[in-house]
Chains A and B, each alone.
Chain A
Amino acid sequence: MNAYLDNSATTKVYDSVKDVMVKVMLEDYGNPSSLHMKGLEAENYVKDAVKTIAKSLKATEKEIIFTSGGTESNNMALIGGAMANKRRGNHIITTAIEHASVANPVKYLEEEGFRVTYLPVDHNGIVDLDALKEALCEETIIVSIMYVNNEIGAVEPIEEIGKIVKEYNPAILYHVDAIQAYGKYNIVPKKANIDLLSVSSHKIHGPKGVGFLYMREKSKVRPIILGGGQQRAMRSGTENVPGIAGMAQAVKEIYTDFDSKIDRMYSIREAFIEGVKDIEGVTINGKTDRSNAPHIVSVSFEGIRSEVLLHSLEDKNIYVSAGSACSSNKPSISATLKSIGIDNGLLDSTIRFSFSTMTTMEEIEYAIEELKNIVPVLRRYRAR
């Protein structure tokens, strides 16, 4: 038995995704910018992909920019957004629990002279809206909030935030990191007042190395990658046609029969929580009901180092992530876990289990059974 429960790290591609990518690489391998027929064929894949993706967001085709993935999308939104708007102000608002691909560009901008407000979150990881209202000021040019937190699956009140921001000042760029949310939620950026939205392909059974940035028409962002002027000069570089075609195929698949897919994922999540919560010394971080994302469960195991549990599970072909890696020579405490205020002793004892549309009930049952075996054994041997 095998249980891949690390789908927030990455997912397996759909068969149909592989098929279209192979076809593009072996048959329709032209450069979309070439004038001949091969180029046109390739361009059509890109155009079709734009259409598919725009449709999934109820957006227009001009609003989709392909990138090399989530990290680039976030970098482009933040750095490109800050560069284009720096004459208007120098204040950026974000949260204390962002992924590194937001947190580090923001830190870079801070070093370059921008002022940053980090909004606190409650014990469930939900951002404090009063703090947001208080932080907004004339100088504010960007508000960047993640849709779903990657470590505990907390879902931020994206629409409410959009309303608050735009009511305060419509010129503020509202960026949403939706890397863990796209394919789990029906997202309509216009409805939520979102200007910029980052998505990665490999979290939804598409290939790695590709993603996109939704850019609401007329939002002011300066390109950060310059070159041959592809994608209306917003993002130069020959389009990653196999990746883009593969991602579009994954989008089609994941948004087909969508509600039942999500319902199934929630059932799996609930079954997992039900099975795990009775193990001694276990805490579930974040919400256990359906207001949390359907695919992430963060669990702390008192008295067990997460890395050790991870490797023990690995030995049983169960693959998970450590919430926060803290080995003896490199303390890297997770900002999210710290921000939601989990017990200090549990910081290094937290594991993330994450599911996908491919996860089965059998995998969940197997993982629970093994956890019940492993946890008491590991707890016997601890540094004292």
Chain B
Amino acid sequence: MMFKAFLIKYGEIGIKGKNRYLFEDALMNQIRFSLKNVDGTFEVTKEQGRIYVEAKSEFEYDEVLEALKRVFGIVEICPMVQVESTDFEGISAAVLDYIDKTYKDKNFTFKVDARRADKKFPMNSMDINMEMGHRILEKFPEMKVDVHTPDVYFHIEIRNMVNIYSQKIPGPGGMPVGTNGKAMLLLSGGIDSPVAGYMIAKRGVKIDATYFHAPPYTSERAKQKVIDLAKQVAKYSGPINLHVVNFTDIQLYIYDKCPHDELTIIMRRYMMKIAEHFAKEGGSLGLITGESIGQVASQTMHSLACTNEVCTMPVFRPVIGFDKQEIIDIAEKIGTFETSILPFEDCCTIFVAKHPVTKPNINVIKRSEQNLEEKIDELMKIAIETTEVIECY
């Protein structure tokens, strides 16, 4: 393997002023977390505003790249060749060898971009650029120099080691998880909610999750499916504490006491309340849902306003303006789609009315909820107390 190290380029965190080191440290932590599941030993270091990942053992290149592509905050990943040479002859031989191996077709324009961090090196950057360019043209006559808009930049960094790189592989962007607080994701077994969690995590937010389980109406396999989804999102977001709430009794109580066409709306209002309870308990500052306007009856503007009304925390709905296909595209990209479409019943569909209300009136809903006064507090308390928390990573 030619590449032994990766230069990690990050975007927005570079501009966060005095807090910059916090963002950088969070990014390094996330990189380490992501590499934990990769075979090999890696050192993640920060040096003069750049982050390096160096392999200290044999490793599988593609596997490392995949792991790095999942770390929010990374804008570009540059696989590097490292040489120990301290004289120009050695460096130039390494660069020529690198070009030869990396680019089969040499019909392109280039520019050499040398940086001399080690000021003891006898040549300055300009000299290195000129001389190196010269030697490249000599060895590969089909290549051409273009100092304004080259196809390829050859970067040569002279530090303790000499780093040579030219490829830039896009990372996921975003901000390192842990730099923007925490939020509670309402996770169902569907396609949308894992995508919503992913999108908020991408902005640096740590994620917890709540799932509503309704045995015997939903099965153990449905629960396992949600755990698997949480684990997949956790590959990006870091560990997720998944709260599994047994919701059956509340659901049946609503079924007994409220008009059937309002069942889903009322049920969702209680789901929000329970999720908010765990959000507060765990230090989350907001809720996340996978709702998208108009997708189903419970996601019309009226319905959203009606479920939102029970929350005191902000509710983030990152896919609110997305069409289904746009959400599916992301789900496929992040690897949740296959799991999401497994055919298990979830608790939102089991008692769904043939004609649920699509324009619920908040006052009507509240009046219906008065029918629940006798036992609902007790049922909520039991549901919260019996909730199982599973750490997914």
A70–B195 alpha-carbon span in the complex (Å): 41
The answer, yes or no, to whether B339 is at the interface (CB within 8 Å) is no
A-contact 0/1 string along B317-359, CB 8 Å cutoff: 0000000000000000000000001011100011111100000
- Pick out which of these stretches binds chain B: A7-15, A148-156, A322-330: A322-330
- Pick out which of these stretches binds chain A: B57-65, B98-106, B215-223, B364-372: B215-223
Closest CB in chain A relative to B52 CB, distance in Å: 46
Given A381-B351, A384-B353, A307-B345 contact (CB < 8 Å): yes
The reply to whether B216 and A327 contact each other, CB–CB distance below 8 Å, is no
The answer, yes or no, to whether A112 is at the interface (CB within 8 Å) is no
The reply to whether A383 and B350 contact each other, CB–CB distance below 8 Å, is yes
The answer, yes or no, to whether B252 is at the interface (CB within 8 Å) is yes
The answer, yes or no, to whether B260 is at the interface (CB within 8 Å) is yes
The reply to whether B354 and A308 contact each other, CB–CB distance below 8 Å, is no
The reply to whether A312 and B345 contact each other, CB–CB distance below 8 Å, is no
Given A327-B344, A328-B349, A311-B255 contact (CB < 8 Å): no
Task: Select which of B217, B220, B343 is within 8 A of A308 by beta carbon.
Answer: B217
Given A381-B255, A381-B351, A315-B343 contact (CB < 8 Å): no
List residues of chain A with CB within 8 A of the CB of B341. Answer: 329
The reply to whether A308 and B216 contact each other, CB–CB distance below 8 Å, is yes
Closest CB in chain B relative to A135 CB, distance in Å: 35
The answer, yes or no, to whether A289 is at the interface (CB within 8 Å) is no
Task: Select which of A311, A312, A329, A382 is within 8 A of B343 by beta carbon.
Answer: A329
A329–B225 alpha-carbon span in the complex (Å): 14
B-contact 0/1 string along A303-329, CB 8 Å cutoff: 000011111101100000000010111
List residues of chain A with CB within 8 A of the CB of B343. Answer: 325, 327, 329-330
A307–B353 alpha-carbon span in the complex (Å): 19
Q: Which residue of B has the minimal Cβ distance to A384?
A: B260
The reply to whether B345 and A328 contact each other, CB–CB distance below 8 Å, is yes
A312–B214 alpha-carbon span in the complex (Å): 11
A155–B152 alpha-carbon span in the complex (Å): 74
The reply to whether A307 and B219 contact each other, CB–CB distance below 8 Å, is yes
List residues of chain B with CB within 8 A of the CB of A325. Answer: 343
Within 8 A of B (CB), among A284-318: 307-312, 314-315
List residues of chain B with CB within 8 A of the CB of A312. Answer: 216
Number of interface residues of A (CB under 8 A): 17
List residues of chain B with CB within 8 A of the CB of A308. Answer: 216-217, 350
The reply to whether B351 and A327 contact each other, CB–CB distance below 8 Å, is no
Within 8 A of A (CB), among B238-265: 252, 255, 260
Task: Select which of B252, B352, B353 is within 8 A of A381 by beta carbon.
Answer: B252
List residues of chain B with CB within 8 A of the CB of A309. Answer: 216
A312–B260 alpha-carbon span in the complex (Å): 23
Given A327-B343, A329-B341, A383-B217 contact (CB < 8 Å): no
Which of B343, B351, B353, B354 has most chain A Cβ within 10 Å?
B343
Q: Which residue of A has the minimal Cβ distance to B251?
A: A381
List residues of chain B with CB within 8 A of the CB of A328. Answer: 345, 349
The reply to whether A315 and B216 contact each other, CB–CB distance below 8 Å, is yes
A312–B341 alpha-carbon span in the complex (Å): 24
A328–B219 alpha-carbon span in the complex (Å): 13
List residues of chain B with CB within 8 A of the CB of A329. Answer: 341, 343-345
The reply to whether B352 and A383 contact each other, CB–CB distance below 8 Å, is yes
List residues of chain B with CB within 8 A of the CB of A383. Answer: 350-354
The reply to whether B260 and A314 contact each other, CB–CB distance below 8 Å, is no
A312–B354 alpha-carbon span in the complex (Å): 24
Task: Select which of B217, B351, B353, B354 is within 8 A of A311 by beta carbon.
Answer: B217
Within 8 A of A (CB), among B193-244: 215-220
Closest CB in chain B relative to A152 CB, distance in Å: 24
List residues of chain A with CB within 8 A of the CB of B354. Answer: 383-384
The reply to whether B219 and A311 contact each other, CB–CB distance below 8 Å, is yes
Closest CB in chain A relative to B91 CB, distance in Å: 56
Closest CB in chain A relative to B255 CB, distance in Å: 6
A49–B298 alpha-carbon span in the complex (Å): 62
Closest CB in chain B relative to A307 CB, distance in Å: 7
B-contact 0/1 string along A349-364, CB 8 Å cutoff: 0000000000000000
List residues of chain A with CB within 8 A of the CB of B255. Answer: 381
List residues of chain B with CB within 8 A of the CB of A311. Answer: 215-220
Q: Which residue of A has the minimal Cβ distance to B346?
A: A328
Closest CB in chain B relative to A306 CB, distance in Å: 11
A15–B135 alpha-carbon span in the complex (Å): 78
A381–B354 alpha-carbon span in the complex (Å): 15
A330–B220 alpha-carbon span in the complex (Å): 17
A312–B352 alpha-carbon span in the complex (Å): 20
A187–B181 alpha-carbon span in the complex (Å): 70
A383–B345 alpha-carbon span in the complex (Å): 13
Which of A315, A325, A328, A382 has most chain B Cβ within 10 Å?
A328
Within 8 A of B (CB), among A126-179: none
Q: Which residue of A has the minimal Cβ distance to B216?
A: A311
List residues of chain B with CB within 8 A of the CB of A315. Answer: 215-216
List residues of chain A with CB within 8 A of the CB of B217. Answer: 308, 311
Which of A310, A315, A329 has most chain B Cβ within 10 Å?
A329
List residues of chain A with CB within 8 A of the CB of B351. Answer: 381-383
A312–B252 alpha-carbon span in the complex (Å): 14
A327–B345 alpha-carbon span in the complex (Å): 6
Task: Select which of B216, B350, B353 is within 8 A of A314 by beta carbon.
Answer: B216
A108–B128 alpha-carbon span in the complex (Å): 67
12 contacts between A and B (CB under 8 A): A309-B216, A311-B216, A311-B217, A311-B220, A315-B216, A325-B343, A381-B252, A381-B255, A383-B351, A383-B353, A384-B260, A384-B353
Beyond the given A329-B345, A330-B343, please list 10 additional residue pairs across the A-B interface where CB-CB is below 8 A.
A311-B217, A311-B220, A314-B216, A327-B343, A327-B344, A327-B345, A328-B345, A381-B351, A383-B350, A384-B354
Nearest 9 A-B pairs (CB), nearest first? A330-B343, A311-B216, A312-B216, A329-B343, A328-B349, A327-B345, A327-B343, A308-B216, A383-B351
> Residues of A at under 8 Å CB distance from B?
307-312, 314-315, 325, 327-330, 381-384
